[in-house]
Amino acid sequence: MEITTSRGLRGMITVAPDKSISHRAVMMGSISKGKTVIQNFLMGEDCLSTIDCFRKTGIPIDIKNNQVSVTGNGLRGLKPPQELLYTGNSGTTTRLLCGLLAPQHFSCTLDGDASIRRRPMNRVIEPLREMGAKITGTKGGYSPITIEGTGLRGINYNMPVASAQLKSALILAGLYADGETTIFEPKASRNHTELMINGFGGNITAEKNKITVNPAEELFGHDITVPGDISSAAFFLVAALIVPNSEITIQNVGLNDTRTGIIDVLKSMGASIHIEKAGDGIEPAGTITVKHSPLHGTEIGGELIPRLIDELPILAVAAAFAEGRTVIRDAEELKVKESNRIEAMENELKKAGINVCSTVDGLIIEGGKPVHSANFQTYNDHRVAMSMAVLALAAEGTSRIENHQCINISYPDFFKTLKSVQ
Ligand code: S3P
């Protein structure tokens, strides 16, 4: 895919539906009684992997356009799968399913693609074993993972990393446990699982970074409309900011506070961003308007990191066009995403002539200097691919994005939407 310098991006768009919420809606629908109709479901490869896994456990799931109907058979209504559960490239599917499947009455095996096989699974395997789970990873804690379903007990657990996938795995296991499960997070991470379970009739309480899971008797199907994904909107926010003569309005974007770190950071860099919140359902949403703005460097670390973990590659691009130094720290988790995103972004930004240096837990970027086109690799990582495509819009010359199809993981229409604002 070739991308040339843009002279301005303008228009009103919507972005891909939220990936985290789409996954969870299928999971909750599958373990609830009755029907769950999900509107504006993300038809990306990751969420389709989740659908595929639940179909294999006997749950009827119909897809019509971007509406998904799940007919659950209650908390204990899953059936033994006849084949391996393939989770593709999806960390969320793999880790949340570990928690959800550990307390079932059957055995199963989970496996994914080459990237999934490199991602650490001990972070879920160890606490689940503390709960009594019979779960085994391969080669010291990787996929394939085998699970022999068994009864679980509630535990108190101090999470060693701020990870919504880990937290959610333990919450799902806790629904089935004998007694209460209490989880302490080192920093607040996205809370879609907590909100959705309560919406389906469960009882999860959260105060500060302490989450208490009360075992459920039964959950009940609930219709859900998925808002746009702020992690997908992020590419258009940064594109409009760094390409002169740009103004983009993005409608119906999820604005859950645990996800909006990127807006706080871009504003602190000098971005002109205007937000209009629309209603306040389970998941708040609204319209974001962004205009080209001169940016300056900033520091990104601490509590902010889990609130923008998936946006760090595109924030590194914003930093390259911002005057002065940007420091990203406390982000070692980036090394164990779909690719090693610290290494990937360092390599690719350097190709465009940007002064960037990796650290143990992040990147230091000296921005505001000329940026030129290049042939960019994607590491088969959707967020690296879209970040480099955005950089190419503001770089001098024509760039190439190799293997751009990997965007199908989270944003199949990315290039179509980009074309609509050019
Ligand atoms: C996600 C949590 C985050 C995020 C991922 C989606 C989720 O991962 O990076 O894209 O849906 O729970 P971690 O839990 O590993 O931080």
Q: Map out the domains of the chain as residue ranges.
A: 2-16+227-420, 19-225
As given in the structure block, the two tokens for residue 88 are 């593709």
Catalytic residue among 46, 111, 310, 381: 310
Q: Kindly report the pTM of this predicted structure.
A: 0.98
Instruction: Tell me if residue 381 is catalytic.
Output: no
- Region 80-87 average pLDDT: 98
Q: From the CA of 61, how far away is ligand 1's center (Å)?
A: 24
- Region 254-258 average pLDDT: 97
Local confidence band at 308 (pLDDT 50, 70, 90 cut-offs): very high
Query: With the C-alpha atoms ordered 61, 62, 68, 71, is the resulting torsion angle positive or negative?
Result: negative
The domain 19-225 having CATH identifier 3.40.640.10: the answer here is no
| Predicted local distance difference test score (pLDDT) of residue 175 | 98
* pLDDT of 342 strictly over 80: yes
Indicate which residue's Cα is closest to atom 15 of ligand 1: 163
182-220 confidence digits (pLDDT tens): 999 999 999 999 999 999 999 999 998 999 999 999 999
Q: How far apart are CA 127 and CA 20, in angstroms?
A: 22
310 CB within 6 A, ligand 1: yes
Half-sphere exposure of 289 (CA within 13 A, CB side): 5
Summary mean pLDDT of the chain: 97
22-54 confidence digits (pLDDT tens): 999 999 999 999 999 999 999 999 999 999 999
Q: From the CA of 340, how far away is ligand 1's center (Å)?
A: 15
| Predicted local distance difference test score (pLDDT) of residue 104 | 98
171 CB within 6 A, ligand 1: no
The helix (H) or strand (E) run that includes residue 101 is helix 91-101
By the 8 A CB rule, do 354 and 394 touch?
A: no
Query: Which atom from ligand 1 is nearest to the alpha carbon of 306?
Result: 16
| Predicted local distance difference test score (pLDDT) of residue 39 | 96
| Predicted local distance difference test score (pLDDT) of residue 181 | 98
Local confidence band at 282 (pLDDT 50, 70, 90 cut-offs): confident
Query: CA dihedral in degrees (253, 259, 261, 267; nearest 10)?
Result: 10
| Predicted local distance difference test score (pLDDT) of residue 339 | 98
Indicate which residue's Cα is closest to atom 9 of ligand 1: 310
Contacts of 174 (CB under 8 A, 6+ apart): 131, 152, 154, 180, 181, 183, 213, 215
- Region 413-420 average pLDDT: 98
Fold of 2-16+227-420: UDP-n-acetylglucosamine1-carboxyvinyl-transferase; Chain (3.65.10)
Pocket test for ligand 1, best of 21, 259, 309, 341 (most atoms within 8 A of CB): 309
The 3-state DSSP class for residue 111 equals: strand
- Examine domains 2-16+227-420 and 19-225 and report if their fold is the same: yes
193 CB within 6 A, ligand 1: no
293 CB within 6 A, ligand 1: no
* pLDDT of 399 strictly over 90: yes
330-341 confidence digits (pLDDT tens): 999 999 999 999
Local confidence band at 278 (pLDDT 50, 70, 90 cut-offs): confident
